[in-house]
Structure 1
Amino acid sequence: MFFPSTISVCGVRGIPCATWGRLSQIRIVMLKSALLILSGNATASLLLLARNLIIARLIPVADYGIASTFAIAMALVEMMSNLGLQQQIVQAKNGEDPRFQAALQGFQVLRGVFAGAVLFFLAGTLTDFLNVPEATWAYQLMALVPVLNALKHFDIHRMNRSMVFWPLILTGVVPALLSVLAVWPLAIIYGDYKVMLYAILIQVGMTAVVSHLVAERPYRLILDRHVMAQSLRFGWPLLVNGILLFGIFQGDKVVVGRELGMDTLAIFAMGFTLTLTPMLVMTQSSQNFFLPPLSGLDRSTEAGRDRFQYLSIVVMQISIVMGLFLVFGVFLFRDLLVQVLLGPKYLTLIPILLPLAIMQAARVARAGAATIALSSGHTGNAMQANLIRIAVLPLAWYAVTQGAGVFVVIMIAIIGEAGGYVLSCVLVARKPGIALGPMVLPVLTSTAFLGAAMLASRLENIPVWMRVAMLGALFVATLASMKETRRYIARRRS
């Protein structure tokens, strides 16, 4: 007997076939979007990692240390002007308004010019502080970076609201590829830290160009006082957080470079890059994917609040898993990674690579809470959680001046990141009010995994297979404790 689709049922819940079909299509689209974001971000980040690895092999270690300080300079000016305008166009209710977008773009250019001017005039002071006065002219040229970054078209971010990610991905991948291709001729011409300088300028300049080529709307700039005031209200916690992030990502490098020299900085910075790159890929992909649906939920209804609670726990659990993947991969392949990619000049990196990965895992675990808070407009949560990490930085500096090495700096950083994670959970429980009961067991098992990984890396007298089996068991136990994430993945696959 024939039954119309409007009255026939599918599955055990009695959902109409047509509705079930639409839900399945939505899940397929979301899964494809997630894979697209991850692959795009991974490709761009791997290209930039490849660029850094190639440069590290082609120039002397000390020159790579100087090149690493360029990241410190760029982060310094970005921290003083970061207002999260790209996130605002995704999160704001009027994000589709062309005038609002033009006003954000105008404000972005204004802040980019300001940041560039600051870097230009501070170049001599920065290079003297880092004991590399010969690079002052390079820092002045780097002042072009924030200006070029500010000229990007915001359409690549606006289209994320509709789960359209290709423009954003192309804007990341194409310039990164061109930057990699430029390394070899630059190395032939210069052969020192200038290779990194010009490769960065090529990447940033082409990023602005590609963002305009893939845009749908004409590029317009407006200086609107109302929008600027709105952006300042939205972004001032992100601005303060940017200052804190500078301390987190660059503070340890400043300590190491100033007190231990450019050779040691080169080793430390390369290890930081190797572990930071996958972390950034995972956190950016997670935020790009989950921020739009979290921001779009109507929490005035019980169903919306329940959905927000459920998705929030999923995001927090996935953030933990991403960190564990990073640590497990580094534990298994760190020797091969250093020997094949970097060669004998960087063998001293091997003992500190796993501790660096654990530090990044503790940091990536906080990304879930940050995404949840951002989706609700609570931009101050991340800022407050970063305060603990910054608080331990003077302790690291003191330890180095007393003769401690890089390993002690990393261990202090791990303590700071762990404290920051605890505070981020407390804050997200208060605002926007997430019930954290489902997170207790995953946090305990993942902490045991990270502790076991650190211990296993030091106990080389125990057979490798036993150490791997122990970590594998703890990893599986952590996954088993995440009921919400397993349910979420099962539904995406169905």
Structure 2
Amino acid sequence: MFKSAILILSGNASTSILLFARNLLVARLVSVEDYGIAATFAISMAIVEMMSTLGLQSLIVQDREGDDPALQAGLQGFHLLRSVFSGAVLFGISQPLANLLGIPNVAWAYQVLAVVPVLRGFIHFDIYRMHRSMVFLPSVLSTSGPALVAVLTIWPLYRLFGDYRVMLYSVLVQGFTLMIVSHLLARRSYRLALDGTVVRRALLFGWPLLINNILLLAIFQGEKLIVGSELGLEPLAIFAMGMTLTLTPTLLFSKSLQSFMLPQLSAVKDDEKQFRYLANVALEASLFFSVILVLGFVFLGAPVVNFLLGSKYDALVPFLTWLAILQALRGFKTGSSVVAVSQAKTENAMVSNAIRVVMLFPAWYMATLGYSLMAIVWLAIIGEFLGYVASLVLLKYRIGLRMRKSVLPILCAFAILVLAATTTFQPFGSGLMAELLTAGALITLLLVCFLTMKDLHRYGREQFLQKVTG
């Protein structure tokens, strides 16, 4: 189990680092405005992917019949149909999207991107089915390998094009490589089927995830669309890079936790005591990682930005701590989401994200009135906080999870966020002594927070003993 956790984390980390490196390389090589255009490619891809995603990869892990070849063939057939539809939608909205962002001459690039969802439609689901047996290497390689290829293509593409097209063709290469690698690493032959029973089962499981993904689309890309359309491409580039810096480690952890904990939680979903224990482990792990993320940006954010991106992204530095707090609150919800999905309560994440989406309306209104980017970030933080509270309430009343053990870890985690937020106002003054006092207070709170996470301690000890004795 310990080896599986390390494999998942290292694999997801390598993929995230490689894709992050691609973004950094493109940002350093092209102008800020061209990077703003490149950032819109992620927006357009997210629009079609999130609007049609049904969590089929999770279903094949969670469902009791996930090993059935007929079910796998039906899911693969339905996935291909969904992906072709996604590509057609992206092609259809290309011109309106380009017009909205004020770059009508770039519509052709969004039309080219429409090929990527179709390529992903041919992914072999065997790499996900093997998660049921805690075999993760094929899925790790199928994501990290294409990411490496995508990075290696950046310099040749820059020499060839020298502008935002570098990102466009890198994304295409990554999508094609992912499709090929998933087939090379599969154990079963690839079969497609359109089975009405499988489609109904997938829709029953996935419709809340579909709505949730539409909400995530609004969350992740809505603010970018607001910034790009109301404030311009350069503020969009600053905001998009800040989100990339802070969201990348959050998504890395979220994906790793789901891959590792979902099979374990699903296996004991009918054992109340064991399920409650593992659910608490997931909740505490989410809190602990998220506060570490915030501390990392408080201590290292500014020098990292200056080193990686240079002076042209200096305007990003004042936003880093606030964006890290925003992503930490999103990270808090990861444990709640994994626990809910293991019980097929896929509506939980949908409800908590709907609360976050509501904050987009005042954000758009404030942007039209000329308010700064910081106001949009603060509204997003309020939305994520309310969404996290909602996720805990749903766990308690829809799944019956007792929250008593979580009270102290949650309070300690929020104390860290509050102190991190106040560092932007320098509560201890300025100078070396003030920085040392701030660092000492934050590290002390982190240690106290960790000491309250008793189920996470127990789980760590058990896994360590298994490794030593096994």
TM-score (norm 2): 0.97
1:108 maps to 2:79: yes
* Structure 2 match to 1:441: 408
Q: CA deviation at 1:139?
A: 0.4
1:155 maps to 2:126: yes
* Structure 2 match to 1:461: 430
SS of the equivalent of 2:430 reads coil
* Structure 1 match to 2:152: 181
Summarize the alignment of residues 56-135 of structure 1 with structure 2, pairs less than 5 Å apart.
56-135=27-106
- Residue from 387, 401, 405 that aligns with 2:368: 401
Share of identical aligned residues, percent?
48
SS of the equivalent of 1:358 reads helix
Q: Which has the larger radius of gyration?
A: 1
Q: Is the 8 A contact 2:119 2:179 kept in 1?
A: yes
Structure 1: distance between partners of 2:460 and 2:236: 41
* Structure 1 match to 2:456: 485
* Structure 2 match to 1:273: 244
Amino acid in the other structure paired with 1:149: R
Structure 1: distance between partners of 2:308 and 2:146: 22
Where does the alignment leave 5 or more consecutive residues of structure 1 unmatched?
A: 1-29
Which segments of structure 1 move beyond 6 Å, counting only runs of 4 or more? none
The number of equivalent residue pairs is 461
Q: Is the 8 A contact 2:56 2:79 kept in 1?
A: yes
1:308 maps to 2:308: no
Structure 2: distance between partners of 1:429 and 1:150: 37
Structure 2: distance between partners of 1:205 and 1:293: 32
* Structure 1 match to 2:286: 319
* Structure 2 match to 1:4: none
- Residue from 246, 254, 259 that aligns with 1:283: 254
Amino acid in the other structure paired with 1:232: L
Structure 2: distance between partners of 1:369 and 1:80: 22
Structure 2: distance between partners of 1:131 and 1:322: 39
Structure 1: distance between partners of 2:425 and 2:118: 46
Per-residue CA deviations over 1:307-350 (Å, capped at 9, x if unaligned) read 00011011001001111111011111111111111011111111
Structure 2: distance between partners of 1:35 and 1:458: 38
Distance 1:170 1:331, change over 3 A: same
Amino acid in the other structure paired with 1:94: E
Amino acid in the other structure paired with 1:333: L
* Structure 1 match to 2:139: 168
Structure 2: distance between partners of 1:80 and 1:422: 25
Structure 1: distance between partners of 2:144 and 2:51: 27
Amino acid in the other structure paired with 1:331: V
Structure 1: distance between partners of 2:80 and 2:423: 50
Structure 1: distance between partners of 2:371 and 2:445: 32
* Structure 2 match to 1:358: 325
Q: How large is the Cα RMSD of the aligned pairs?
A: 0.8
Structure 1: distance between partners of 2:269 and 2:167: 47
Amino acid in the other structure paired with 2:96: T
Q: CA deviation at 1:457?
A: 2.7
Per-residue CA deviations over 1:156-197 (Å, capped at 9, x if unaligned) read 100000000000000011100000000001011111110000
Q: CA deviation at 1:79?
A: 2.1
Structure 1: distance between partners of 2:190 and 2:387: 40
Q: CA deviation at 1:377?
A: 0.5
Amino acid in the other structure paired with 2:418: G
SS of the equivalent of 1:431 reads helix
Q: CA deviation at 1:483?
A: 1.2
TM-score (norm 1): 0.92
Structure 2: distance between partners of 1:457 and 1:317: 27
SS of the equivalent of 1:365 reads helix
Is 422-431 or 451-460 further displaced after alignment? Answer: 451-460
Structure 1: distance between partners of 2:397 and 2:231: 42
SS of the equivalent of 2:52 reads coil
* Structure 2 match to 1:371: 338
Structure 2: distance between partners of 1:365 and 1:312: 13
